Amino acid sequence: MSKATTIKKRITAALAAGTLMLTLPLAGCNKSGNDSSTASDSNINQTSESAQPSRETKFGDDVVAKSKNYKITYPVMEYIFNYMFKNFCNTYGTSYFDTTKDLHDQYYNEEEKISWYDYFYNTTKNYMTQILVFSEGAKEAGLEVTKEEKDKINSNFELMESAAKESSMTLESYIAKEYGDEVTKENVEQIQSITVLAQDYNNQLMKGFKYTDEDYEKEFKENKTKYVCSDFLVYSFAYNDKTTDEEKAKLKEYATALSNTKNQKEFQTYLTNYMKSNPSVVNVPSSESSLTEEEFNSAIDTNVTSAMNKAVAYNDSNECYKWIFDEARKVNDTTVIDESNAYNAIMIVKPSYRDETITRNVRHILVTETTEGSDEAAKKKAESILDEWQNGAATEESFGELAEKYTEDPGTKTTGGLYEKVKPGDMVTEFNDWLFSKARKPGDTGIVKTSYGYHVMYFCGDGLCVWKNSADTNMRQKDIADEYEEMKKKYTVEFDEDTMKKMTLTMPEKEESDTDTTVPQVSAVSEQPAESKEQSE
């Protein structure tokens, strides 16, 4: 029973939803794993006419996009065009098209004749529209790029310079090779500065939206399926094309017997006994060639535990989920569903409900042994950072400043070490245990060691409960999207599409290396990914 969605479905959904996509196109020296959504604007069915592989004409300072106060030249637009392409390749890989062939002739949507070139072209156009519209709003609001933001842009060029040196290139030649032969450092700096302003204004608007408990309840009532989850047990008796009818009948017999259990304890007991009698079905560590009886029993316990699914969000992508989230479901309901080459035995542990678990917000500064040379040195460094904070202003703001200075967690370096809306179990064990201690109160600090290194901790306080967090995010996304539609009417953006269609993509010569672009995503609602157990594995 797969919970995964395909890349095409995710892309299609994003295009249909018109999701705002404000990201900061900064280039660095390692891969990014961002799952950026794409915005759907106009002309999505328009096909580009120019040849992809090469061009002889130079466009220099030709203006290809403009709003009231901003003009975007061809090289800047080509930089964004290639940024979008590289970000996609870093996120999803290049298996969806052949980079040795013209993307004009390869279709993202063959039925509607939308080529992959069109896809990146339209993504670029929509992105630039957002940037210019929000930048106009920022200018009218009197916002300017701060010294700290300028410093961050400059530090990113240092990363680019390091990447260039690793390739035995100058910064200028590196930028031209990666993003287009007319693109310069000044072009990159310009779009980064404009994007910072757009993000600042976007964030200002987002923070201005205020919601009451009544608003959250209204959102829940109108969109219930977005905010419910369920706890259930599921075990799949899998088969394939080589499975005989007799073997399939036996598997179905096992699944039926499992579904005839009366409660969670019986379900898990049956599953344990089944695995002991059929050792080949037990998933064991791949590094283990043989197991002692104790290790084998431990592996069974792990397998049985993994059959429990807690707080799984609503999903109607297959028959299993449709059954699980049917409003008629009650505790200990069971069934067997033949789907995805498996007989799926399912038991309801907790039927559809709202997750009222309170989330927490925390800042941390990560110090690793790799940088400090040894475990002891890393520990002393963490202690010295905490001392520095305690001997200074000793505020959350000053902690955030130290995080931006010292932390080795790239995911939170630009946000002052902040993780927001963290749920129990999101973080690695030691981090989680400190954060969710019953004794924890706002302003608490400490040092926690995990598999990542030493974390200097600062507890900010509680957040909303899980379902309200989701509602809050969705409401803000809707409100900012509505605001954006009104802003587009006020701040018009014009494009010279005939010239824009001459843009070319710099194709990767091979798999993206560690010197590719890093694209830190700044979403419409700031929500950093937690340092999770899954990541640590």
Q: CB within 8 A of 66, min separation 6: which ones?
A: 72, 132, 493, 494
CB count in 10 Å sphere of residue 462? 13
pLDDT higher than 60, residue 358? yes
Q: Are 505 and 82 spatial neighbours (Cβ–Cβ below 8 Å)?
A: yes
Instruction: Please state, for a pLDDT cut of 70, what percent of the chain lies above it.
Output: 83
Give the best-scoring range by mean pLDDT among 5-19, 26-40, 495-509.
Answer: 495-509
> What confidence score (pLDDT) does residue 499 get?
95
> What confidence score (pLDDT) does residue 369 get?
87
Could you give the residue ranges of the DSSP H alpha helices within 19-146? Answer: 74-92, 116-140
Nearest to 369 by CA among 456, 457, 452: 452
Cα–Cα distance, 326 to 356 (Å, whole number): 21
Of residues 44 and 450, the one with the higher pLDDT is: 450
Mean per-residue pLDDT over the chain, rounded: 85
> What confidence score (pLDDT) does residue 289 get?
64
* String of DSSP letters for 345-411: EEEEEEEEEE--PEEEEEEEEEE-HHHHSSHHHHHHHHHHHHHHHHTTT-SHHHHHHHHHHH---TT
Torsion of CA 61, 183, 37, 105, to 10 degrees: 90
387-418: pLDDT as tens digits: 999 999 999 999 999 999 999 998 898 889 99
Report domain extents, the chain: 7-210+474-523, 222-354, 358-466
User: What residue has token string 């100058």?
Assistant: 170
pTM, whole model, 2 decimals? 0.75
Options 3.40.50.2030, 3.10.50.40, 3.40.1360.10, 3.40.50.1580; CATH for 358-466 is 3.10.50.40
pLDDT higher than 90, residue 142? yes
> What confidence score (pLDDT) does residue 179 get?
87
Considering only 19-23, 49-53, 404-408, 436-440, which range has the smallest mean pLDDT?
49-53
Report, as an integer, the average pLDDT of 442-457. 96
Residue 287 is encoded by which pair of tokens? 């590094």
pLDDT higher than 60, residue 122? yes
- 315, amino acid identity: N
CATH topology match: 222-354 vs 358-466: yes
> What confidence score (pLDDT) does residue 213 get?
96
Report, as an integer, the average pLDDT of 363-380. 91
> What confidence score (pLDDT) does residue 178 get?
85
184-196: pLDDT as tens digits: 999 999 999 999 9
pLDDT grade for 288, boundaries at 50, 70 and 90: low
pLDDT higher than 50, residue 236? yes
Nearest to 428 by CA among 405, 401, 455, 403: 455
Residue 19 is encoded by which pair of tokens? 């999701």
CA 208 from centroid of its chain's CA atoms: 24
Options 3.40.1350, 2.60.120, 3.10.50, 2.60.40; CATH for 222-354 is 3.10.50
